[in-house]
Amino acid sequence: MHVLFVEDELKIANFVQLGLKEQGFTVDYCDNGNQAYQQAIDRTYDVIVLDIMVPGKDGLAILKQLRRLGQNTPVILLTARNELDDRLEGLNLGADDYITKPFFVEELVARIHAVVRRSIGDRQNLLSVGSLKLDRITREVTCHQQTVELTTREFNLLEYLMRSPGRVLTRTQILEHVWGYDFNPNTNVVDVCIQRIRKKIDRLDEPSWIENVRGVGYRFRKPELSS
């Protein structure tokens, strides 16, 4: 899952980012509200973890404006223990959950999974294209009813492609979503990761699930496109 994490306390920011990445999340980090708000409206996230007290736009202002725009991305507020009024206001503005400092990353991960399940529904947690199935919550992948072992990066890339079968995704889009940084024309990390995934999910007697669109990027094959 792709997370926007907004927190200006460096110590908290470092350990949360590390913990989320270890759990397989792609994390975009901001330490001020103005940048966070812009990223929230410019990019697509599965969840936003938002500290109430940040420089620039505060967390409640960001939340209020996002909801006014019809932005329904789940939001988890980070609050201090004495900020009861802010927590109540946040929930009234449309926050999906809150967690008080200090907290364990494991608790935050559990709350992220919970709000995402509520927002998209359990059915959408399972991506299924033909014989290939991917569970976004358990992070299990099966192909022809056989378990496929993927690294965290491979799983995130496969999930991203499977969300939009038949849609061409550029290397720039893939890098920004899965790796979390801007496109470098000299890197081949996307191509290398694609090749590793293909070796694990493709069969010799079938077309590859992941098609190379020359000069553009990749797309996940729809079953009806197979020959």
Q: What is the CATH number of the domain that holds 9?
A: 3.40.50.2300
Other CB atoms closer than 10 Å to residue 91's CB: what's the count? 14
For the record, the structure tokens of 213 come out as 């669109």
At 121 the pLDDT is 62
For the record, the structure tokens of 170 come out as 């550029």
In the listed set 62, 97, 120, which residue is the last one of a domain according to the structure? 120
Please determine, for residue 89, whether its predicted confidence score (pLDDT) is greater than 90. no
Q: 72 versus 153: which is more confidently predicted?
A: 153
**36-50 average pLDDT score:** 90
For residues 82 and 133, membership in a common domain is answered with no
Q: Output the average pLDDT for the chain.
A: 86
The whole domain housing 40 covers 2-120
In the listed set 120, 147, 171, which residue is the last one of a domain according to the structure? 120
For the record, the structure tokens of 55 come out as 């420089």
For residues 82 and 180, membership in a common domain is answered with no
In the listed set 120, 148, 173, which residue is the last one of a domain according to the structure? 120
What CATH number does residue 208 fall under? 1.10.10.10
Residue 227 pLDDT grade (very low, low, confident, very high; cuts 50, 70, 90): very low
pTM of the shown model: 0.58
E-strand ranges in the chain read 2-6, 26-30, 47-51, 75-79, 97-100, 126-129, 132-135, 140-143, 146-148, 169-170, 210-213, 217-220
For residues 108 and 129, membership in a common domain is answered with no
For residues 108 and 188, membership in a common domain is answered with no
For residues 184 and 79, membership in a common domain is answered with no
Torsion angles phi and psi, residue 191, rounded to 5 = -65, -40
At 185 the pLDDT is 56
Which residues 6+ apart lie within 8 Å of 179 measured at CB?
Answer: 26, 153, 189
Please determine, for residue 194, whether its predicted confidence score (pLDDT) is greater than 90. yes
For residues 38 and 111, membership in a common domain is answered with yes
Pairing mode, if any, of strands 47-51 and 217-220? unpaired
For residues 86 and 173, membership in a common domain is answered with no
- The domain tally of the chain equals 2
For residues 53 and 85, membership in a common domain is answered with yes
At 120 the pLDDT is 66
Rounded distance between C-alpha atoms, residue 77 and residue 65, angstroms: 15
At 50 the pLDDT is 94
What sign results for the dihedral spanned by CA atoms 114, 120, 122, 125? negative
Residue 18 pLDDT grade (very low, low, confident, very high; cuts 50, 70, 90): very high
